[in-house]
Structure 1
């Protein structure tokens, strides 16, 4: 049995219907991060004892879950960091993330760390950022 091609009743609209123009997508410019960043201050924070257990700290834990300071891929400013011990197992760093009573004590830990930092950095940009961070935390806690 011989097969014949199917005859179209209506003509094609264009010669090449599969060709489509690519959709132009506009790129959004990245928002520059204006949060305070200081490796010197983070080194200082890591040198302090852990704010939870008092052991030597080896990590600077940034504030989480409060004041909209972090989240959705954003890290809080370095002035909102506190010293914690970190490593394998059930460490204070992991406990702050998992235990609610430690998360709610973060403002106390922060104020203690910031006050110690103000003594260590009596002037300069770090001092100014710490004053701003302390005022921010106190205003959020209603203790101005």
Structure 2
């Protein structure tokens, strides 16, 4: 089945995020891309690039069908959303912070580690990234 055109810059950015980070909740995507994210997701769904899936009562948006650990993926996707919100980015599993520091991202369940820093899922869903930083 052929896929449709992506005619929205926001939709293209959301798709790139889903391809880099993997399944993400709509709430995390809204943190990363703003209030018009729902429209971008519908655009991607109609064009055949992304779709919602349910895992253990949680709805994720995904661009693929790879298996994943739910708790780790939730933590990772929320960390990446907060990183993007703060002006950083993710490139090949590396967190690039707004000031240019770059660290490999490691995830252990509800904890995300980058360099000497740790971030906890419960903080990431409630607060901006700078308020979530803990030294390891």
Q: TM-score, normalised by structure 1?
A: 0.27
Larger Rg: 1
Q: TM (normalized to structure 2)? A: 0.28
More strand by share: 2
